[in-house]
Structure 1
Amino acid sequence: MQRTRFVIADIGLELSSQDYLPLMAVLPNFENFYVEEFPFDITVIRFEFIEDDFVIKEDDYKLLSDISIVWGDNFKFMESENSYVTVVDELVRADDTVWIMESDKTFMNSRIYFDRKKLEGSTALSWLIMVAFGQASLRYDTALIHASVVIKDAQAVAFLGKSGTGKSTHSRLWVKYIPGFSLLNDDNPAIRIVDEETVYIYGTPWSGKTHCYVNKKAKLMSLVRLQQAPYNRFVSKKGKEALMELLPSFTALRWNKEIFSTMINLLENIINSVHVGHLDCLPDQDAAELCYENIK
């Protein structure tokens, strides 16, 4: 059995298969997170690769969703009594390739059914691993968020917002105009509560279109939701208002009450320890400096 191991946000990922798979070549964005052995007593999310077809019996599965922001209608998410099944129809080398991931109800153990000939050039595999990691990690005070993050001296600020809002642009403005800041992640960092008062944010292998796969962590100082406006204005948020600023950027299965409730509890703990703000802004230097001064 071949086993390939990674550590992301202090959580282990183990990918296993009966025969050799060139996983490091297929998952180049994971390179900085590779480990030969796991640290002692680490939580491990496991994936087994099955080179075979997975037969979906419609009577055994309930369709929960057939649309995805990433895959459009080339996607299905289904539930049976004991598992979830994620189906992605990916275009690889002008051929349709169907990827299927069967996960237990906790997402701690998944089987990925694949065609070896279609491994090279695929983006679906990385995405499927991200889906399982995002759900399984919630029970360990960890969450993937949709955000762009800048870091300086082991302290970080995360920018939230709808796609197209300008998160990446705002990060670039900080890097350009505010000395000492660099980009940690540009799409899907991980947040982890390590004790009741300390929240860290981590780089991950998932950074959208920006090749920024930094294996670092930093203390999270602020989460700021951006909104485009013809002016620059910063407002700090607390309590329920802070929760509503964060909720759209966190992901949990709304069909799984346990996972969804875990995410809400995690959010409540985060806003007790991390500053939350809202920035109406233009894509300019003044917006970055206004945001920085308010957080500082």
Structure 2
Amino acid sequence: MCSFSAFLYNGKEKNMIIELANIKFNVLDFKPEKLIVRGKYGNYIREDVETDVDIKVTSDEIDRSRIEYESNDQEVCIETAAIRKIYETLLDFDAFVMHAASISVDGRAYAFSASSGTGKSTHMNLWKRKFEGKYQVVNGDRTIFRRNEEGRLLACGSPWCGKEMWESDVMVPVQGFCFIERGLVNKTRKLDTEEAYFKLMNSTLIPGDSKRLMKQMDLMGWVSENVPVFVAEVNMDPEAADVVYEAMK
């Protein structure tokens, strides 16, 4: 975790620099002491580096967060507004945040998305037991995905990792996506491009401006055409990880 001195330069407080998916954000509104208490940004903070983009929230964006999260804590509202802006700005760099956990096995990332309470974390735990000593969790809740210059989609760590705090500051080529549903018998189905597109879109934040929305739609179209997407009906038995892995590998 960063110490407070990391945010001082010649005795003056400087802006917070956060690196996500190899993109350096100069976040102008975060107060370092607030983030240090929470601790979750420590692995992504950078010092004295050139930044790629500034993140500055407006009063309207802060008010929107206040209404959305029903909070009167000004710092919380600033932070949530800035996070939303980071999410939307990622699209300018061929990247997006998805409500998905992801785990790396043999240098390939497997991403899992599910409705709240469906068992995404439980399924991740099955994979962790199956590949004990051979896996790395990329993120447990909100993975960043970025298309690189070679046309490969990468799963990237982020500080927004859920209550389990599963995260790693890594970038791993994506093997595939899987939408987890509850079932009595473990089985998987590969989606066609159209169904995959709508599944992916529904698991991402819809940006507030039309230009970025078009960018997101284009990017999701590319992902659905170039990365395998599955639906899996699974139970809580260890066999569930075997069935899904065999389908996706």
- State the partner residue of 1:218: 172
Report deviation, 1:185: 0.8
Bigger relative contact order, structure 1 or 2 (CA pairs below 8 A, ≥6 apart): 2
Change in Cα spacing, 1:211 to 1:21, as seen in structure 2 (3 Å) is closer
Whole-Å Cα distance in 2 between the matches of residues 147 and 153 of structure 1? 19
Whole-Å Cα distance in 2 between the matches of residues 21 and 259 of structure 1? 29
Q: C-alpha root-mean-square deviation of aligned residues, in Å?
A: 2.7
2:99 aligned counterpart, secondary structure: coil
Q: Among residues 163, 179, 182, which one is paired with 1:209 in the alignment?
A: 163
Query: Are 2:72 and 1:97 equivalent residues in the alignment?
Result: yes
Alignment of 1:14-53 (within 5 A): 14-16=26-28, 21-39=32-50, 43-47=52-56
Query: Are 2:17 and 1:8 equivalent residues in the alignment?
Result: no
Change in Cα spacing, 1:196 to 1:188, as seen in structure 2 (3 Å) is same
Whole-Å Cα distance in 2 between the matches of residues 167 and 174 of structure 1? 11
Whole-Å Cα distance in 1 between the matches of residues 237 and 81 of structure 2? 36
- State the partner residue of 1:133: 86
Q: Among residues 138, 150, 154, which one is paired with 2:107 in the alignment?
A: 154
Aligned residues: 236
Q: Which runs of 5+ in 2 are unaligned?
A: 1-12
In the TM superposition, structure 1's runs of 4+ consecutive aligned residues that sit over 4 Å from their partners are 88-91, 123-126
More helix by share: 2
- State the partner residue of 1:270: 223
Q: Among residues 132, 154, 158, which one is paired with 1:200 in the alignment?
A: 154
Larger Rg: 1
Change in Cα spacing, 1:228 to 1:76, as seen in structure 2 (3 Å) is farther
Query: Are 2:187 and 1:233 equivalent residues in the alignment?
Result: yes
Report deviation, 1:27: 4.5
Larger displacement relative to structure 2 (20-29 or 173-182): 20-29
2:206 aligned counterpart, secondary structure: coil
Report deviation, 1:232: 1.1
Change in Cα spacing, 1:196 to 1:270, as seen in structure 2 (3 Å) is farther
Give me the TM-score of the superposition, normalised by structure 1. 0.71
Deviation digits for residues 159-184 of structure 1, max 9, x if unmatched? 01111111111111001113412322
Q: Among residues 175, 199, 211, which one is paired with 1:245 in the alignment?
A: 199
Whole-Å Cα distance in 2 between the matches of residues 274 and 89 of structure 1? 33
1:287 aligned counterpart, secondary structure: helix
Deviation digits for residues 189-224 of structure 1, max 9, x if unmatched? 100001363000111010121212321111011100
1:87 aligned counterpart, secondary structure: helix
Whole-Å Cα distance in 2 between the matches of residues 240 and 150 of structure 1? 25
Give me the TM-score of the superposition, normalised by structure 2. 0.84
Change in Cα spacing, 1:124 to 1:181, as seen in structure 2 (3 Å) is farther
Whole-Å Cα distance in 1 between the matches of residues 95 and 170 of structure 2? 15
Query: Are 2:66 and 1:87 equivalent residues in the alignment?
Result: yes
2:96 aligned counterpart, secondary structure: strand
Report deviation, 1:131: 1.0
1:235 aligned counterpart, secondary structure: strand
What amino acid is aligned across from residue 4 of structure 1 in structure 2?
M
Whole-Å Cα distance in 2 between the matches of residues 21 and 292 of structure 1? 41
Q: Which runs of 5+ in 1 are unaligned?
A: 62-74, 78-85, 100-113, 115-122
Deviation digits for residues 58-87 of structure 1, max 9, x if unmatched? xxx9xxxxxxxxxxxxx963xxxxxxxx32
Deviation digits for residues 248-269 of structure 1, max 9, x if unmatched? 111113x532222211111111
